[in-house]
Structure 1
Amino acid sequence: MTAPTERADAARNRLRILGAARHLLATDGFADLSLDAVAREAGVGVGTVYRRFHNRAGLVYALIEDNETRFQEDFRRHCGDAILSAHDRLRAFLHGMADLVDDNRELLLLAEASAPAGRYSSAPFRRHHEQITGMVAELAPGADAAYLADLLLMAYTPGLFDHQRTERGWDVDRIKHGLDTLIAGIGAAGPADERSS
């Protein structure tokens, strides 16, 4: 059974609401984000926003999912047609993830605070894990790709990423360089059973 198609006016309202929420976040920060303010900014009735998102958490997760969709589209555009090595695809993916997390830190920190382990069962995390596992398996055949994908994804834990950016003062390029070092190590290592214990 296919999912029902969204009505054109509902789709337009959804885009207006998400755009308004992004604008308010950029100008006022998360503390002042309310569904009433988003409705005013979007020029729609507050009931429309509540029916669609139910509460502020619902709006936050919709923004995260919308940003994830954009990230996946950008990755497909960058790596879909070109014949890139597993190393180059993995590097592009992890660099794109660093930019995605940096651009959405406030939203991701809120999501992490409301459900600390929730990210591991979220659709974006499962999708990222599957994609990274596939690229790691191609880059290092025989390695424990699923475990290595977990380790790579730990770099994007919102609290850690925010700590590195704010408390340590690291820029995103430093984080990307660290990820490049990890990718090089994965590519250089043989399968676990080929190494001495």
Structure 2
Amino acid sequence: MAKTAVIFRSEYGSTKRYATYIGEKLQADIFTTEEAKDISSYETIVFGGGIYASGLNGSDWLKKNQEALLHKKLILFTCGISDPQDEKNVENILNGVKKSLGEELMSHAKIFFFRGAMDYKRLKLTHKGMMKVLYEMIKRKKERTTEEEGILQTQKTPMDFVDVSQGEALISYVKE
């Protein structure tokens, strides 16, 4: 199998959980974006980042390494609280990632979508502010989706949707 690196940026641990699982299953080298300096010896790069305000965490690393990545098998995975079984959520995530990365990287990469976790009490001030705005918008709605109701619940109760076995499809794709 081609030499593979799993590179990730994780703020609260969900993306790291997926990256670690995927890396171990692939017997790949695992790096944070801060540790991943030289990717020239790798044929396959698996990159994971969380979704924040529709943007991909770590997109700065991807853009910085774009030229090298365009000559490798590139697999991205996102990690967020939105359910990727809902097509509208996937569409929104893809639009945000496309804005973060641009067309060239997007068209070169295979993308997978995973669910993360949310513990409002552990959020950094910036993320608390973003979530407060989102909570207020959802609270004002007369009709809410199940997902929106779930998002409101995260303000009171931590939610953990991480299921590392969801990474199996990505792992199979890398092995193809």
Normalised to the residue count of structure 2, the TM-score between the two structures is 0.30
Higher relative contact order (CA 8 A, sep 6+): 2
Normalised to the residue count of structure 1, the TM-score between the two structures is 0.28
Higher fraction of strand: 2
Whichever of the two has the greater Rg, that structure is 1
